[in-house]
Amino acid sequence: MPRSAWLLRPTSPVPYDVANDAMHRLAERRLAGEIPDTLILLEHPPVFTAGRRAKQDELRWDPADVAARGGIVRRIDRGGSFTFHGPGQLVGYPILDLGAKPDAGVYLRHLEDVAVAAGAALGVPIGRRADVQTGVWSGDEKVCAIGVRLLRARVTLHGFALNCDTDLSWFDGIVACGLPDHGVTSLSRLAGRSVGVGEVRPLVERAFAERFDVSFADAPREVAGPFAAAADVA
């Protein structure tokens, strides 16, 4: 029988700092057993995030230039290198208790499966590439980046970023995922038509529920409220 889980899905972009802070607070609550497993699905205003393996020279634009374009740069506590989040990209932050003996590799494969299933539902063939790194690809171009952290080696933080109708020119500002010889793409480019976040979100919700064997209910107002308020003023 599927486990009960909460779903948060603000409909407007949420500033990165707001979401990052809320995600960490929810993970602490999940670790304490105060809340069930939770999935946050949202968009961000433009932001470059740098994981623990990111090198400074992988940021190709000066931070002042990033700011002039309306973006920000943040160093964060996930694995991986630089990536971009922005409008037109569906970002998923699963907050899951993987148990006392988690298999991080299996968890990453399951996240890949979710993105692959969403692509298949759109008629877009995408898949993993074990020879390169975690994520979902079309040939040499990545369509979904994945970077995570386990809180106390148990509860998941951060997650995946699936390019829907993202402005891919933002990726010119970084060496995406630390791979200078690989590119990025979007579901829209692969489908040959506009594929927006609103179309992809329910496909990801369904695929995630099936892959992780959960049944979603909307998160209560006291949890969802900060995301909605931040989106309203973003």
In 10 A of CB 107, how many CB atoms? 18
Task: Identify which of 122, 105, 104 has the alpha carbon closest to the alpha carbon of residue 198.
Answer: 122
3-class state of residue 109 by DSSP: helix
**Which is it for strands 133-138 and 89-95: parallel, antiparallel or unpaired?**
unpaired
User: Among residues 177, 195, 197, 230, which one is catalytic?
Assistant: 177
Tokens of 217: 């209910």
In 10 A of CB 137, how many CB atoms? 22
Residue 181's region, left for phi above 0, alpha for psi from -120 to 50, else beta, is alpha
177 is catalytic: yes
Strands annotated E in 164-233: 183-184, 214-218
Cβ-contact 143, 177 below 8 angstroms: no
Task: Identify which of 95, 108, 86, 120 has the alpha carbon closest to the alpha carbon of residue 203.
Answer: 120
Please identify every residue annotated as catalytic: 177
